[in-house]
């Protein structure tokens, strides 16, 4: 009998259907789990399913029975991978499940900001159309994506699918080399991308190298009408620097789906940035189309079944 525990199943809400594995098992799930509850809830677990709950080295050291961590996400920042290596715990993640949803969300943010949809909608609610006395009014600039240069920082599956969408709209796409590295074929330098791109979209993992890859010096290199899109990880951008960039009109606007700490505190710089009509924040839902959620749920169980059968897939550790 294999004991499975899902620590935060509420992060995978309906309509996604999470099937049960095809082997003899005992299943226990919790909507959410606090750090002090992890040890007790996993004491008898062979496999843990987890999305955002942190599994630290200290926690893992108290769980000698644990054999596998099945991540209901691609990112692994919440798990101490080195501790897993030392303990012989297999870690598997889910991959490419949102390869349509996230690029479409990034494109939606670009479109909304380029055409100032949020600003115009708010002005209509405030009665501006009636006040204008005309069939239309031009309080905010509207620009086409066609002919604009999209700069990609990070070039994995999601970035490549976004590139296809952008090219279909007549955009030019450039891809940055890693910060501080000489660009190879098909790349431009990191600094060149910042200065040339009309829209910059972030698609790199969060690690020591990419923490605050966009901060005050980078904002100063951007065009004053450039748009910054982040559907990757909150920590990729210095959020205080972004707020200052919007306040000082160093850039044209920004669209974010991620925050360093989620949910954000009321005084988080991104919450303050919502006062600006050229900033859009969505609650980490770029991945959450109904089709993507179901693919994630299916792949999560596929990974577990493969592990139990001795054919590990999507293995991180």
Q: Could you give the residue numbers annotated as active site?
A: 233, 262, 284
- Residue tagged 């990729």 (tokens): 236
CA triple 163-16-311, angle to 5 deg: 80
Angstrom distances, CA of residue 124 to CA of 112, 133, 138, 158: 16, 13, 12, 35
Cα four-point dihedral sign 74, 290, 54, 9: negative
Task: Return d(Cα 20, Cα 295) in angstroms, integer.
Answer: 15
The residues with which 237 forms a beta bridge, in sequence order, are 214
CA 59 to chain centre: 26
Helix residue spans in the chain (DSSP H): 38-41, 57-60, 81-87, 101-114, 117-125, 128-132, 157-168, 190-196, 216-221, 239-247, 269-273, 290-308
- Evaluate whether 176 touches 193 at the Cβ level (below 8 Å): yes
Kindly give the interhelix angle for 117-125 and 101-114, rounded to the nearest 10 degrees: 60
Do 304 and 21 meet the contact criterion of CB atoms below 8 Å apart? yes
């Amino acid at each position: 009998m294999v004991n499975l525990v899902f620590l935060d199943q509420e992060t995978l809400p309906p309509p996604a259907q999470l099937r049960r594995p095809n082997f003899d098992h005992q299943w226990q799930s919790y909507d959410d789990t606090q750090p002090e509850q992890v040890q007790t809830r996993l004491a008898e677990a062979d496999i843990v399913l987890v999305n955002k709950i942190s599994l630290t080295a200290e926690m893992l050291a108290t769980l000698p029975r644990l054999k596998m961590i099945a991540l209901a996400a691609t990112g692994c920042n919440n798990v101490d991978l080195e501790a897993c290596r030392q303990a012989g715990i297999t870690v598997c993640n889910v991959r490419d499940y949102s390869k349509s949803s996230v690029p479409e969300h990034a494109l939606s943010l670009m479109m909304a900001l380029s055409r100032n949809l949020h600003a115009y909608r708010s002005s209509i609610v405030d009665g501006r159309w009636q006040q204008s006395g005309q069939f239309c009014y031009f309080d905010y600039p509207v620009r086409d994506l066609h002919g604009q240069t999209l700069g990609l920082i990070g070039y994995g599956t999601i970035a490549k699918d976004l590139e296809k969408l952008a090219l279909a709209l007549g955009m030019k796409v450039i891809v940055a080399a890693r910060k501080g590295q000489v660009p190879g074929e098909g790349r431009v330098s990191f600094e060149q991308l910042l200065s040339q791109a009309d829209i910059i979209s972030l698609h790199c993992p969060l690690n020591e190298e990419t923490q605050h890859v966009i901060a005050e010096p980078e904002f100063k290199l951007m065009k004053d009408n450039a748009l910054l899109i982040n559907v990757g990880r909150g920590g990729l951008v210095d959020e205080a620097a972004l707020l200052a960039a919007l306040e000082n009109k160093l850039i044209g606007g920004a669209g974010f789906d991620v925050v360093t700490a989620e949910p954000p505190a009321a005084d988080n710089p991104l919450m303050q940035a919502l006062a600006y009509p050229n900033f859009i924040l969505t609650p980490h839902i770029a991945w959450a189309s109904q089709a993507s959620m179901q693919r994630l749920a299916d792949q999560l169980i596929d990974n577990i079944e493969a592990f139990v059968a001795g054919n590990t897939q999507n293995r991180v550790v």
